[in-house]
Amino acid sequence: MADERIHPHVRDRLLGLQRVLLAMFDAGIAMSSASKGTERELFVSSFLRQLFPPSVRFDTGYITDVGHRLSGQVDIIVEAPTLFSLPAVLDGPRLFLAEGVAAAIEVKSNLANQWPQVLAKAQKVRELTVLERKYTRAQKLEMARERYPGRKVTVVDSPSEDVRKKDGGIPFIAIGFDGWDDMETVRKHADEIGSVLVLRRGFFAGPGGSGPGATGILMFLEQLSLLIQEAAVTIYPTWHYVMMSGLHAEHRGMLLGGDDPK
């Protein structure tokens, strides 16, 4: 019933993309133990990069935060369109700042069989601290002027802190070509990590709801699009990665585990 309410041309195109993707998977591209990572490549090259504009980078690599933690290699990192990431070698795994990640995605052949691996990676990503700025420089100057009328002020005089820890951290999505056969089980597992998409049936569950078939695929694309848009307008406090003076590192204990920088 849910698919019947979708625009028919959108529904047919989504289901066509699903059939092609699964046909390539079923042909054996992702079945060989010697082809580790092929599921990721297949989903990126034959789906994500075909649907989203070239300005969005889908890459693999590691995520680090201001506390020096590392995520371990993540299958797909959806990069914030307005920040940067650091390559090691041409086309090699990149290093991403936690603030520059719109979403972290793990891709598996079968989520039901490989769920412990998904949980382990989700935990590593969940442990990362993500900072965000609360106010622009102009807003902080205005608050400082209101606090000290008639006096020459700088952003240091503002009564507000520059940054805060982002609620929820980095959004995490698990995708399986195969997985569970009922929607309720997918919802239950999504509650553990954030979002889940089972491609075979189009089952999707996430913070915005759940649905099957073309509905579920469309919901996944909408959520990912919203996460990219949100990341595009975030004001990134990247100075915390290099400049830990008392002037700007308001959350020194959170950033450095309580140790003062030397």
Q: Specify the CATH number for the domain of residue 34.
A: 3.40.91
Q: Are residues 101 and 173 in the same domain?
A: yes
Please report the pLDDT score of residue 261 as a whole number: 37
Q: Is 210 part of a structural domain of the chain?
A: yes
Strand bridging mode 209-211 / 203-206: antiparallel
pLDDT in tens, 251-261: 444 444 434 43
State yes or no: pLDDT of 2 exceeds 60: no
Q: Are residues 114 and 144 in the same domain?
A: no
Q: Are residues 107 and 191 in the same domain?
A: yes
Q: Are residues 17 and 106 in the same domain?
A: yes
4-34 as b/e: b if 16+ CB within 10 A: eebeeeebeebbebbeebeebbeeeebeeee
Q: Are residues 178 and 240 in the same domain?
A: yes
Q: Are residues 173 and 87 in the same domain?
A: yes
pTM for the whole structure: 0.83
State yes or no: pLDDT of 34 exceeds 50: no
Q: Are residues 77 and 194 in the same domain?
A: yes
Q: Is 160 part of a structural domain of the chain?
A: yes
Burial class of residue 171 in the structure, from the number of CB atoms within 10 Å of its CB (0-12 exposed, 13-18 middle, 19+ buried): buried
Q: Is 261 part of a structural domain of the chain?
A: no
State yes or no: pLDDT of 234 exceeds 90: no
pLDDT in tens, 98-154: 999 999 999 999 999 999 999 999 999 999 999 887 777 788 788 888 888 988 988
Q: Are residues 96 and 212 in the same domain?
A: yes
**Binning pLDDT at 50, 70 and 90, where does residue 248 land?**
very low
Long-range CB contacts for residues 54-59, cutoff 8 Å, separation at least 24: 55/81, 56/81, 56/228, 57/85, 59/85, 59/93, 59/94
Q: Are residues 41 and 76 in the same domain?
A: yes
Residue 203 CB partners (closer than 8 Å, separation 6+): 179, 180, 183, 186, 196, 197, 210, 211, 212, 216
Q: Is 76 part of a structural domain of the chain?
A: yes
Please report the pLDDT score of residue 92 as a whole number: 79
Q: Is 262 part of a structural domain of the chain?
A: no
Please report the pLDDT score of residue 243 as a whole number: 54
Q: Are residues 183 and 145 in the same domain?
A: no
Q: Are residues 233 and 139 in the same domain?
A: no
Q: Which domain holds residue 142?
A: 131-165
Counted domains in the chain: 2
Q: Are residues 155 and 175 in the same domain?
A: no
Please report the pLDDT score of residue 142 as a whole number: 85
